[in-house]
Amino acid sequence: MPFDRLVRAVDAWAQARGRRDVFAQIGPTDWRPAHIEHERFLDPPRFRERVAGARAIVAHAGMGSILTALEMGKPIVVLPRRGDLRETRNDHQVATARRLEALGRVRAAYDENQLTDLLDRIDEMSGTGSIRGCASDELLDAIRGFIHGEGP
């Protein structure tokens, strides 16, 4: 689904601050940013390459983007899609952003003004440490035990 609210806000911020170092994957939208480099879609290897080369990530609160940024130890700012704005079917991204923000793993903005404030500080942000690219052995063992009917 398009997320023009995020792309427009980042494009406006880049113009206002004279930033020429911003790249965006903009998704299925007819609107095109004028002040940031962009592509509609990146395949997974190119997406990972872009994240690896980025100073920081700005994204919706989708788990794929969040997990990739955390795996690579990149600071991430999220603006969750909202159900009341018809950007998604419900507010699951708002719940995700709140939980991961409370855990100190993401910085979350809930409107464009908050996003601009965070973007103004993005060069000062550091990652929260990288995570493993797969589940822990303990979790995998617990799942295997559950599947095989073994008790806790």
pTM (predicted TM-score): 0.89
Residues 104-141 pLDDT 10s? 999 999 999 999 999 999 999 998 888 888 888 999 99
Domain boundaries, the chain: 4-147
Residue 152 has pLDDT above 70, yes or no: no
For 26-62, write each residue's pLDDT tens digit. 999 888 999 999 999 999 999 999 999 999 999 999 9
Assign domain 4-147 to a CATH class: alpha beta
Calculate the alpha carbon distances from 62 to 22, 92, 95, 139 in Å. Answer: 20, 9, 11, 22
Q: Looking at residue 51, what is its pLDDT?
A: 97
